[in-house]
Amino acid sequence: MPGITIGDKVPNLQVETTHGKFMLHDYISDTWTILFSHPGDFTPVCTTELGMMAKYADEFSKRGVKLLGLSCDDLESHEEWIKDVEAFSGGHKVKYPIIADPNREIIKQLNMVDPDEKGSNGEPLPSRALHIIGPDKLVKLSFLYPATTGRNMEEVVRVLESLQKAAKYKVATPVNWKPGEEVVISPSVSDDQAKKMFPQGYHTADLPSKKGYLRFTQV
């Protein structure tokens, strides 16, 4: 599918949102941003997702992350739907902006078009996509789910923390990693460098190859 993917720069589009008009790059500024699309307002899975995003908003804010939603419905629809979202989520307020894209131009440029789902008028619908965008305006990670499957906010938090640690330190996160657990040191970092970079220490897995490439530390 054409459109942006990991490593690409998000286009500096002018968008109309529930918080007014702005340029994407101005909104992202020098922070991390989660840009997520949903197939449609007043739909069941999307209502649960946006409510959970509202519930997790403080968790994302603590990590210096902004939220930005998107669907092809108009602003009036968004404003009415937000009332349902907030009611279902137990009163958590939707404080993040939601982009309106009735002409379906933005979803194409942001690679958020569902390959299968169509609206009642035959027009393409947004996929259940999510881009994590770094302060450099580059896409660091993308999720793409079908309309039938809601996203897991704990997984979004997990991969966000993984990305932020990788950006700050020369580390990666191993299989099933969770925030607070040990990370692995990049093979590009020598043992001497590791001792200086990770004064808290590290340990190396004892493998049959006797190659010391699997080094764990806490950051």
Residues involved in catalysis: 46
Task: Kindly tell me the burial class for residue 206, based on how many C-beta atoms sit within 10 Å of its own C-beta (0-12, 13-18, 19 or more).
Answer: exposed
Bridge partners of 34? 67, 132
Sequence-separated (6 or more) residues with CB below 8 Å from residue 199: none
What is the H or E stretch that residue 68 is in? strand 65-71
Q: What is the DSSP letter of 138?
A: B
Q: How far apart are CA 84 and CA 178, in angstroms?
A: 32
Task: Tell me the residue type at 100.
Answer: A
Token pair, residue 47, equals 């209502």
Which region holds residue 104: left if phi is over 0, alpha if psi is between -120 and 50, else beta?
Answer: left
